A and B are shown apart, each in its own frame.
Chain A
Amino acid sequence: MPFRRLLRRWQGALLSVVGIVATVWLGFSGQLGLYIHPRYFVFTLVMAFIAGVLVVVAFALLPATEHEHALPDDDQGRWAWLWSAGSILLIASATVGLLVLPPATLTTATVAKRDLNGSTSNLTQSEASDLVGGDYSSFTVRDWSSLLRQGAGEDFFADKTATVTGFVTPDTSDPENVFFLARFVVACCAVDAQPVGIPVYYPGWQDEYPIDSWVSIESGFDTNPSISSEEAIALVPSEITPTDQPAEPYVY
């Protein structure tokens, strides 16, 4: 069947084009960071370019279908149509996923699956110690959450002001009054993202700031007034500023 032969020959090239167009567009629109660590940007774009050249050369030089003798035996089987249907479905799904749906970050649904601050994904003990005495104004959510997790103590946080941006995700131990200002830490790509966050005491926050919306906070730390929250220290801000999702939503 000519269509099946056409598909068998070109499904790899088509999937390549879908992947290449998606990669290059993400790269040039500054959104590649939604999926991979910046250290891979150049490599990823260079390989997309090389593969793009190979795809174009393949389109230019190859006949539309494979030689008859190059076809595997199962191409003529009774269920061969199923292979074609699966192949079309795969190409269509890849096209929708990579080229139609808007690029997106991970959401609170993944925070719930990955134990916020459950790992030290942030920093090692010695790195966290090095933070003490650093330039606190430039500290990220990752830095502050590391210090909180390492148990720096109330005295340490008493005179410190954090200026941080992150997305809103509820504190499961007191969702009424406390939320986490969270970010995902990425080592390689979004698959390995680990959520880190700073607890924020702000009763009734749900009414003003939807889950997963991005906010900026400039505030001091204090003993967490919440009775049921498991977090001992929290930011207790008087003001929270809604903001847009930053160009690089993950921290590294």
Chain B
Amino acid sequence: MHMSQTTAVRPVAARRRPGRGLYVGLIIIGILTLLRAFAPAPPADSLADTARDFVTLSISVVIESLPFVFLGIVLSIGVQIWLPEGFLLRRLPKNVVARRVVLSLLGMLLPVCECGNVPLARGLIAKGLTVGESMTFLFAAPILNPVTIITTQQAFGWDGGILAWRIAGGFLIANLIGYIYSRHPKPESLLTPRFREACALGDGHNAADGKARRSAALFTKETSAMLPALFIGAGLAGLIQTAVSRDVLVTLGSNPVWSVLALMGLAFVVSICSNVDAFFILSFGATFLPGAIVAFLVFGPMIDIKMLALLRTTFTAKTLVQLTLIVALCSAVLGLAINYAV
């Protein structure tokens, strides 16, 4: 009784003073801007090189990923609030296999990077997509999207079938995972309790609230879920990069088995965006066997440190361990098959 009274009264009271929040917000933005503009430069060498590089690498991950996360949240707001109810999901085929196939090609229309796909997938689950289907979309979209395909083609051309293997591998693994998790007896148990409750509550506002207010509420909710994960993931990626020497991975390059595992390890650590990972790995083209490069290009967009931190906002730790093992196993098999058979 007490709760329902509070619920009914609080927002109305808050709405009577719409300007106050705006002033508070602008003051916070102003203070942080002044802080950046006038932060005193610390004396040179106040940070050891390694600590400085840790900060630089972590910031680099944040600055590079943040716009994609914002784009994903904006698209998620579009899907959940601005598009007519069921606009996207209603158009999907009824047959489950065909449905997953279409979902794995959704990245062709919404070419967001993998970090942006997480908030978008959360929005789609909230709108009724099953957990298995959301995984198919999450894992296929970073690879089966026009930007990734064009950059991979630019980097490798048609040589060695690297582009074809990448597309086929991404498509098959994403659909396999969708199939496996579609058979789960309690798919909702794969989601974190917090996200489950968020889905049950909808966007937390009734339809009487304007779309602008609901969009703003969803933005704060999604940034509160995604950004802590992104910042922690960026910190971990920076930390591991300053702690682990890349030489160790690169020296394993010419062995058909180790090269595959080494490049998958590199993909996991580097956490690089799928749109440009082909250019990055091109630099190792002479060192590594083609199967290792394909394993890197298939495994990296699906699973890496940053991606796991972001996915943890939505899926339980146990689910993520299973997903990591399945994707790693499939990518390794694909890479080894190419190394030995082609």
Show the binding face of A for B, using Cβ within 8 Å: 8-19, 21-23, 25-26, 32, 34-37, 40, 43-44, 46-48, 50-52, 54-70, 72-74, 87, 90, 93-95, 97-110, 112-115, 118-122, 124, 185, 187-192, 194, 212
Contacts and interface: CB of A to CB of B under 8 A. Distances in A.
Interface string B30-49: 00110111010110000111
Given A102-B42, A120-B283, A12 B18 contact: no
Contact of B237 (A15, A102, A191): A191
Interface in B238-259: 238, 241-242, 244-247, 250
A102 B41 contact: yes
A119 B36 contact: no
A104 B56 contact: yes
Contact of A95 (B32, B61, B197, B215): B32
B309 interface: no
Contacts of B13: 63
A72 B57 contact: no
B22 A56 contact: yes
Contact of A188 (B53, B220, B222, B272): B272
Interface string B214-237: 011101111111111001100101
Contact of B66 (A8, A23, A107, A110): A23
Contact of A105 (B21, B29, B35, B56): B56
22 contacts: A9-B220, A12-B222, A13-B224, A15-B231, A19-B63, A21-B33, A22-B36, A35-B59, A47-B68, A50-B70, A59-B28, A61-B216, A69-B201, A104-B56, A109-B52, A110-B242, A115-B246, A119-B250, A120-B285, A189-B272, A191-B61, A192-B270
A56 B272 contact: no
A17 B24 CA distance: 13
Contacts of A94: 62, 231
Contact of B60 (A25, A87, A102, A189): A189
Contacts of A67: 7, 10-11, 204
Nearest to B13: A63
A118 B251 CA distance: 10
Interface in B150-169: none
A170 to B, nearest CB: 13
Given A48-B67, A187-B279, A99 B212 contact: no
B62 A98 contact: yes
Interface of B: 3, 6-7, 10-11, 13-15, 18-19, 21-22, 24-26, 28-29, 32-33, 35-37, 39, 41-42, 47-50, 52-53, 55-64, 66-68, 70-71, 74, 193-194, 197, 201, 204, 212-213, 215-217, 219-228, 231-232, 235, 237-238, 241-242, 244-247, 250, 270-273, 275-277, 279-280, 282-287
Given A63-B10, A95-B32, A187-B279, A70 B59 contact: no
Given A110-B53, A187-B276, A62 B220 contact: yes
Contacts of B49: 107-109, 212
Contact of B212 (A61, A100, A112, A189): A61
Contacts of A21: 29, 32-33, 36
Given A87-B228, A104-B56, A95 B35 contact: yes
Contacts of B222: 12
A11 B279 CA distance: 35
A187 to B, nearest CB: 4
Contacts of A112: 245
Main secondary structure of the interface of A (DSSP, over half): helix
Given A8-B224, A189-B64, A62 B21 contact: yes
Nearest to A98: B59
A119 B231 CA distance: 29
B14 A188 contact: no
Contacts of A93: 231, 235
Given A12-B225, A101-B47, 15 more contacts: A8-B224, A9-B220, A50-B74, A52-B29, A62-B21, A62-B220, A66-B204, A70-B204, A97-B59, A110-B241, A113-B242, A114-B245, A115-B247, A188-B64, A192-B280
A9 B224 contact: yes
A235 to B, nearest CB: 23
Contact of B52 (A37, A104, A124): A104
B216 A62 contact: yes
A12 B224 contact: yes
Contacts of A185: 283
Nearest to A94: B231
Contact of B216 (A26, A58, A64): A58
B241 to A, nearest CB: 7
Contacts of B7: 67-69
Contact of B284 (A9, A48, A119): A119
A61 B36 contact: no
A101 B35 CA distance: 10
Contacts of B273: 188-189
Contact of A12 (B14, B36, B226, B286): B226
Contacts of A10: 220, 224
Nearest to B306: A191
B227 A44 contact: no
A54 B215 contact: yes
A101 B242 contact: no
